[in-house]
Amino acid sequence: MTTRINQPVKVLAAFDSKRMRLKPLQLAWNNTTYRLGKVDFFHATKNGAERVYHFSLCDESGGTYMKLAFHTHSLVWMLEEVEDEQLAKV
């Protein structure tokens, strides 16, 4: 079941300056910390002068699929959507 969230979250990320790549590693949301797996899809959009980087990925266990956005002007990470196998079973 996919749920639209659109809430700011805390994200631990790594930035590779040689390859100019940003990779989210860990996410804290709703009193839970998720270790993040491989990024499945990445794209960038523009919102006026601001660039927004969008990431689609699962947690390490593969049970929770998430869409994250990093806003470059405010330096805020937003959790856009969550698809959780546990929610789908309810």
Q: What is the pTM of this model?
A: 0.88
Q: How many domains does the chain have?
A: 1
How far is it between the farthest Cα atoms of the chain? 45
Q: Could you report the per-residue pLDDT of 52-77, keeping only the tens digit for each?
A: 999 999 999 998 999 999 999 999 99
Residues 6+ apart with CB under 8 A from 59: 27, 34, 35, 36, 37, 66
Strand 50-59 relative to strand 76-84, pairing: unpaired
Q: Is 72 helix (H, G, I), strand (E, B) or coil?
A: coil
Q: What is the pLDDT of residues 7-22, one digit of tens each?
A: 999 999 999 999 989 9
| Region 17-36 average pLDDT | 94
Q: Residue 60 corresponds to which tokens in the numbers above?
A: 């390490």
Residue-number span of the structural domain to which 13 is assigned: 2-89
What's the pLDDT score for residue 85? 65
